[in-house]
Amino acid sequence: MRTIGTPTRYEIEIKRSRFIASCARTDCEDEARKFIATVRSLFPDARHHCTAFLIHNDAGPDTARSSDDGEPAGTAGNPMLSVLSGSGLTNITCVVTRYFGGIKLGTGGLVKAYSQAVQEVLDRAKIVRVITQETYEADFPLSEAGRIEAKITQNGYEILDRTFSRQATLRFSCPPQISKAQIESYLSSLTSREVKVTTAPTITHEIAQ
């Protein structure tokens, strides 16, 4: 999944109207609406706060919503959403706040202005690729934990946490192409007993694009 790494804001002026574009990563519709509310609160005297957001859905079609917020129908929200859709990004919300400058832009001018505002802010945003990884836990005798940790680290596993009591419990991630059964087989080969692993919470990594 590609999205933006940090909230970004950029302003353009067209015929004395100010268009302030704010965008942020939002991983669900509730986060999108909270971000929209936050932007509204930052510019309470603005004439319009037009919005668009795209949220990825593993179980079905992505969620796409937009609002013209009082601008002529089809001149703000849909053009903004089109820019977001064409960007290849997801889990993103954009709000374009407009302060009217006294000169009417016409429907074509509004479409161009709102589209441009979104494109300008995306051009300045930090784009990241988000990778989700499964993590696992396994127990080992205390006497073997150090050796096993060193060995699996050499083979591309990442140790995320370790706890010690009667046994050593290691929490780790591994390359995504390796199955749980393969992990168990590999760990069992490193010790004198059968090793069972349990699935732990997933983690996400952001990689700059």
pLDDT in tens, 148-181: 999 999 999 999 999 999 999 999 999 878 899 9
Whether pLDDT at 195 is above 90? yes
pLDDT in the model for residue 192: 82
Query: Which residues touch 93 (CB under 8 Å, ≥6 apart)?
Result: 23, 24, 26, 31, 32, 35, 36, 51, 52, 53
pLDDT in the model for residue 31: 97
pLDDT in the model for residue 58: 80
Whether pLDDT at 145 is above 90? yes
pLDDT in the model for residue 207: 79
pLDDT in the model for residue 60: 84
Domains and CATH numbers, the chain: 2-125 (3.30.230.30), 132-208 (3.30.70.1290)
Whether pLDDT at 132 is above 90? no
How much of the chain exceeds pLDDT 90, in percent? 86
**How is 171-182 classified by DSSP, letter by letter?**
EEE--TT--HHH
pLDDT in the model for residue 68: 98
Query: pLDDT digit string (tens) for 44-98?
Result: 999 999 999 999 988 888 999 999 999 999 999 999 999 999 999 999 999 999 9
pLDDT in the model for residue 122: 98
pLDDT in the model for residue 144: 94
Whether pLDDT at 131 is above 90? no
Query: pLDDT digit string (tens) for 1-37?
Result: 899 999 999 999 999 999 999 999 999 999 999 999 9
- Gap between the Cα atoms of 143 and 160, Å rounded: 20
Whether pLDDT at 205 is above 90? no
Work out the angle between the directed axes of helices 180-190 and 142-154 (0-180°, nearest 10).
120
Q: If pLDDT is split at 50, 70 and 90, which confidence band does 38 have?
A: very high
- Mean pLDDT across the chain: 94
pLDDT in the model for residue 203: 81
**Residue 110 in tokens:** 């509004």
Q: Are 145 and 170 in contact (CB under 8 A)?
A: yes
